[in-house]
Amino acid sequence: MSIIHEVKPQVAESEVFLYADNKLLHRFHCTPEALKELTIGHLFCNGFIQSATEISHYEEEAGDPDNISIHISINREDFNPIPPVQDLKVPELTDLQALMQDFFNCAEKYKTHGGIHCSALFDGKSFVAQYEDVGRHNAFDKVTGKSLLTGLNPANLIYFTSGRVNSEIAEKAGRCGFPLIVSRSIATTRACEIARKHGVGIIGRISSDQPLLFNKGRAYA
C-alpha cells in the first residue's frame, strides 16, 4: 500500500492527571495549553467548586509534554461569589452569524490542520474566552474556566461551539446556566430535552442560509 503524502501529527494531545490534595481526581486527554482554565472549568462544571477563588493551590508538574500532572488544593472558605445572573440581550440572527465567522477567523489551529474542537464565550459585546482542543469537553471547560478566572458568571454568557451539541454538552451548559448555545452543527434529541429542562436555548447550523432553532430557552423566552 503506497502512502500518498506522509506527514507528522499536527494535533497535539497530552495525558494530564489532576490531583486534589494528592488524590487522583480526573485524567484528561487534551491539547496541552490553558490547563489552569481547563482545571477550573472542569471543577466548576462538576460541582466541586462554585468560584475560581476556592482553588488555594495550583501547580503543574511536567515530566514530558505528553505526561503532565496538576496538583491543586480546594479551600471552600475562600469562596468569593460570582456576579449574579443578569438579563442578556441576544444579538440578531445576522449578528450571531457574523460572530460565528469572527470566531472561526480566530481559530488558528482549526484553520491550519482541522481535527480540533473550538469553543468561545460572548458577553454581548465581545468574545471573552476562546480555546481549541482535541476534546469538545475540554474546549468547553477551558472557556468556562477562563470566564471564572476573570470574575464572570457563565450564566451571563453565550456559548459558541464548532461541534454537535450532544446530551453531555447540554448538561454542562445547564450546570453553567448558559442562556444560549450557538453551533455550526446540530443538536441531538436528548440534548434538546436536557436544554429545555435547564432553560438553555440552542441554535444550530448557524452558518447556513437557514439556521435551526432547536430550543428557545430563556434566551428567547
Cell 445572573 maps to which residue?
85
Q: Is the dihedral of CA 13, 14, 15, 20 positive or negative?
A: negative
Instruction: Tell me: pLDDT of 150 over 60.
Output: yes
Residue 156's pLDDT is: 97
Q: Answer yes or no: are the C-beta atoms of 120 and 103 closer than 8 Å.
A: yes
> Binning pLDDT at 50, 70 and 90, where does residue 41 land?
very high
Q: Is the dihedral of CA 69, 134, 12, 52 positive or negative?
A: negative
Instruction: Give every CB contact of residue 98 below 8 A, 6+ residues apart in sequence.
Output: none
Higher pLDDT, 81 or 96: 96
Q: Is the dihedral of CA 105, 107, 108, 110 positive or negative?
A: negative
Instruction: Tell me: pLDDT of 88 over 90.
Output: no
Residue 115's pLDDT is: 82
Give the CA-trace dihedral at 58, 62, 67, 69, to 10 degrees: -20
Q: pLDDT of 127-138, one tens digit each?
A: 999 999 999 999
Q: pLDDT of 176-194, one tens digit each?
A: 999 999 999 999 999 999 9
Q: Answer yes or no: are the C-beta atoms of 170 and 195 closer than 8 Å.
A: yes
Q: Which run of H or of E encompasses 105? A: helix 93-105
| Predicted TM-score (pTM) of this structure | 0.94
> Binning pLDDT at 50, 70 and 90, where does residue 153 land?
very high
> Binning pLDDT at 50, 70 and 90, where does residue 3 land?
low
> Binning pLDDT at 50, 70 and 90, where does residue 78 land?
confident
DSSP 8-state code for residue 151: T
Q: Over range 150-160, report the average pLDDT.
A: 97
C-alpha cell read off for 210 = 437557514
Q: Which run of H or of E encompasses 68? A: strand 67-74
What distance in Å separates the CA atoms of residue 180 and residue 138, rounded to the nearest whole number? Answer: 19
What distance in Å separates the CA atoms of residue 15 and residue 13, rounded to the nearest whole number? Answer: 7
Residue 221's pLDDT is: 80
